[in-house]
């Protein structure tokens, strides 16, 4: 199982903030493909500029293998303060 | 000290605790950001953080500030959840031996928090809600530090 978290406008777009995927996709790229198949608009937004991905709370550039229990977060451009 | 707070916090209390019992510190600078709006009490912002990830990311930047500005200590308190007009959103305290380092590190930390820290901010206005992304001014402020 992989736990997927969405933040900011991505959560509003998808209509959910947290979801589990079973079985765990082998790689981050496979998860992106799966999510884009289910929701094309979300898939496009995840691939959009400024959206970063974190696996187990570490930012990942490019692709990475996902272990069972992985937590994957998609982070749109950030703004605090 | 880095803390995310889902409820309003009292800046005076935090400042009191932060400044108490210091011997090596000659200067403490504070920045307090408030939620701006037309009417006090209106819920105007919703701030989201990624628990665990957000605190770690802020901690890494505090460590950079510590090395770069001879910072002795820092505190960052940031609200999450729904915030009403007039409430504090963020408090940054920096402590150094001398004022210049304290001023500069506080400025540096705020520029980072505005445009590169893991927070997502939704603003509720007369025309509905919208997600705020860093402005070009926020990004050029951050770029000043190289």
Q: State how far the Cα of A81 lies from the Cα of B33, in Å rounded to an integer.
A: 7
Backbone angles phi, psi at A14, to 5 degrees: -75, -30
Output the pTM of the full model.
0.88
**Mind listing the pLDDT tens digit for each residue in B96-111?**
999 999 999 999 999 9
Topology of the domain comprising A2-75: Ubiquitin-like (UB roll) (3.10.20)
Name which of B18, B9, B12 is nearest B89 in CA terms.
Answer: B9
Nearest to B121 among A5, A54, A80 (CB): A80
Burial zone of B73 (CB within 10 Å; 0-12 exposed, 13-18 middle, 19+ buried): middle
Give the count of beta carbons closer than 10 Å to the beta carbon of residue B141.
Answer: 18
Rounded to the nearest angstrom, the minimum Cα separation between A25 and chain B is: 22
C-beta of residue B119 within 8 angstroms of C-beta of residue B47: yes
By the CB < 8 Å criterion, does B128 face chain A? no
Nearest to A79 among B33, B50, B133 (CB): B133
Rounded to the nearest angstrom, the minimum Cα separation between B23 and chain A is: 30
Q: Which residues contact A78 (CB under 8 A, 6 or more apart)?
A: B115, B116, B117, B118, B119, B120, B134
Range of the domain at B80: 2-143
Maximal CA-CA distance, chain A: 38
Task: Give me the mean pLDDT over the B27-51 stretch.
Answer: 91
User: Which domain CATH number covers B43?
Assistant: 3.90.1170.40
- Interface touch A79/B110, C-beta < 8 Å: no
C-beta of residue A59 within 8 angstroms of C-beta of residue A53: yes
pLDDT at A68: 96
Most A-contacting residue of B31, B45, B50 (CB-CB within 10 A), to test interface? B50
Q: Return the residue matching tokens 């701030």.
A: B47
pLDDT at B134: 76
pLDDT at B2: 96
- Interface touch A73/B53, C-beta < 8 Å: yes
Strand partners, B78: B4, B90
The residue in chain A having the minimum alpha-carbon distance to the alpha carbon of residue B91 is A81
pLDDT beneath 70: ranges in chain A: 80-81
Q: Which residue has the higher pLDDT, B146 or A39?
A: A39
pLDDT at B71: 95
- ipTM, two decimals, is 0.90
**What value does the mean pLDDT of chain B take?**
92
What residues does each domain of chain A span?
2-75
Give the count of domains, chain B: 1
């Amino acid at each position: 199982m992989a736990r997927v978290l969405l933040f900011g406008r991505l959560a509003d777009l998808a209509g959910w903030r947290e979801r589990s995927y079973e079985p765990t996709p082998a790689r981050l790229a496979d998860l992106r493909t799966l999510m884009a198949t289910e929701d094309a608009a979300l898939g496009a937004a995840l691939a959009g500029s400024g959206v970063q991905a974190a696996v187990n709370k570490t930012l990942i550039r490019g692709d990475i293998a996902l272990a069972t229990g992985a937590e994957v977060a998609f982070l749109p451009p950030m703004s605090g303060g | 000290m880095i803390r995310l707070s889902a409820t309003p916090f009292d800046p005076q209390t935090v400042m009191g605790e932060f400044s108490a019992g210091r011997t090596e510190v000659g200067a403490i600078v504070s920045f307090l950001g408030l939620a701006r709006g037309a009417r006090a009490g209106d819920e105007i912002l919703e701030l989201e953080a990624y628990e665990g990830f957000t605190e770690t990311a802020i901690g890494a930047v505090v460590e950079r500030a510590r090395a770069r500005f001879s910072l002795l200590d820092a505190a960052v308190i940031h609200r999450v959840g729904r915030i009403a007009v007039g409430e504090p959103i963020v408090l940054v305290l920096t402590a150094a031996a001398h004022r210049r380092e304290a001023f500069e590190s506080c400025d540096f930390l705020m520029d980072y928090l505005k445009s590169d820290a893991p927070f997502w901010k939704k603003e509720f206005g007369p025309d509905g809600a919208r997600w705020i992304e860093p402005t070009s001014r926020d990004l050029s402020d951050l770029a000043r530090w190289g």
